[in-house]
Amino acid sequence: MTPVVRGLLWSVVYLLAAIAPLFFMIVGDAPPGRGWWTDLSMGLGFVGLAMLGLQFAVTARFNPVDAPYGLDVVLQFHRQISLVAFAFILAHPAILFVGDPQLLRLLNPVTATAPARWGLVSLVGLVVIIATSLWRRQLRLRYETWRVLHGVLAFVIVATAVVHVELVGYYVSGPWRRALWVAMSLVLLGLLVYVRLIKPVQLLRRPYRIASVRPVGAETWTLRLEPDGHAGVRFSPGQFGWLIVDRSPLSVREHPFSFSSSAEDHSGVDFTIKEAGDFTATVGDIAPGTRAYVDGPYGAFSYERNEAAGFVFVAGGVGITPVISMLRTLADLEDRRPMWLFYANPAEDGVIFRSELDGLCDRLDLRLVEILEDPPEGWAGEQGFVTPEILDRHLPERDERLQYFICGPEPMMAAVEQALHDRGIPADHVNLERFDFIE
């Protein structure tokens, strides 16, 4: 099955799961309707709740689900669809209030009925989770704090909404509807238990030890991890893992990084990390011997999943890390296919793996094009940003048989993607990896 077919299949599964409650509500001896607008309000509430429950599945990091799209796209979907679910759930009481303004009294938690009170708690939780997710930086919430809050609120929102539906009871009565409703609630609970408990406990059995912490450039470090009592992780070059250092996998302090070592090196894995946030700023202080865990691999950004006659890599800054993993692996496999690497950085001191890239040019049929925004005097490479003109100067004209891999800052990726589109490169030959997909 091709990734496109698998992607379509999962999209259909999502759609069916989101509207499943509507089927439950009209199956068998359905209760009488209460007017089109009231039932539209109910329908939107149920679909919105199903979408919120499905968010646990969307973010559960199931590789078969994520692989056809890439985790960055899955997380973009998670963010956008949560706003749609929010709108549906807001519309649920709003339609009722417009139809009967007296119902506005249900917004008062003191005088509201018990079902309305639970619904109100869910709604307030939803407002808080959306606000803290959209404006986390403006609210100065630390990433780890936000993740704990996000997980707790997600549970509270769905649980209180389920209680609200149970107490209203109108559409979940009758043995069939009851059974289907309970089954759906149990699946949601099961997903939560799997993500928050079973998966972390499985990781506990696969610890790593930090073997070394090496500086590889300005504010950039390579962590070497070696498996402790197990065979380690097998990944496709270009993939990434969630790294947990000096904490239990049950904690939420985990961060996604690309593997930078060769996939052919089975003695351990490397992560190359640039100091940028709360955790990454402390990477240089990690002591060798520290315990760590790796949840992964994830992602579809790999030449192994996109075989071609040759490869073009475009990396910006620390976006070089998945690319260096692919190049190291290809060199270990003595691959002789033609390759191009466009490596862009603001200035020369931001360049990492410089001498190793020269060595890789000897071991591979690799052409390295270095681009500096602010080059030093006498610079022989390209200057500025990665432009269509620079691509034209270095790439062959007939390049539709190649696969393209782009990783770097969002503006660079958008510009290169557009340039490749303008060159007539099919979209399924262009692979992107956002290293800042956690926002």
Kindly list the residues in this chain that would bind another protein in the complex (CB under 8 A).
11, 14-15, 18-19, 22, 25-26, 30-44, 46-47, 51, 69-70, 73, 76-77, 80-81, 84, 88, 92-93, 96, 103, 106, 112-119, 164, 167-168, 170, 417, 421, 427, 430, 432
- Cβ-contact 301, 407 below 8 angstroms: yes
Least distance in angstroms from the C-beta of 44 to another protein: 5
Nearer to another protein, 33 or 277 (CB): 33
Least distance in angstroms from the C-beta of 92 to another protein: 8
Nearer to another protein, 300 or 369 (CB): 300
Least distance in angstroms from the C-beta of 198 to another protein: 29
Q: Which residue has the tokens 């894995």?
A: 269
Nearer to another protein, 18 or 210 (CB): 18
232: how many CB neighbours lie within 10 A of its CB?
17
Reduce the DSSP state of residue 97 to 3 states and report it: helix
250: how many CB neighbours lie within 10 A of its CB?
13
Nearer to another protein, 42 or 184 (CB): 42
Least distance in angstroms from the C-beta of 403 to another protein: 15
In terms of phi and psi (left: phi > 0; alpha: psi -120 to 50; beta: otherwise), the region of 234 is beta
Nearer to another protein, 15 or 281 (CB): 15
Query: In whole angstroms, what is the distance from residue 97 CA to residue 106 CA?
Result: 9
Query: In whole angstroms, what is the distance from residue 172 CA to residue 45 CA?
Result: 13
Q: Which long-range contacts (CB under 8 A, 24 or more apart) does 374-380 make?
A: 374/346, 374/347, 375/347, 375/348, 376/347, 376/348, 379/348
Reduce the DSSP state of residue 43 to 3 states and report it: helix
Query: In whole angstroms, what is the distance from residue 70 CA to residue 437 CA?
Result: 11
Nearer to another protein, 19 or 286 (CB): 19
Structure-token pair, residue 267: 């003695």
Least distance in angstroms from the C-beta of 213 to another protein: 34
CA 123 to chain centre: 25
Least distance in angstroms from the C-beta of 70 to another protein: 7
Nearer to another protein, 86 or 221 (CB): 86
Nearer to another protein, 3 or 151 (CB): 3
Least distance in angstroms from the C-beta of 154 to another protein: 19
Q: Which residue has the tokens 């090196």?
A: 265
Q: Which residue has the tokens 């962590």?
A: 223
Burial class of residue 387, CB neighbours in 10 A (0-12, 13-18, 19+): middle
Least distance in angstroms from the C-beta of 391 to another protein: 16
411: how many CB neighbours lie within 10 A of its CB?
10
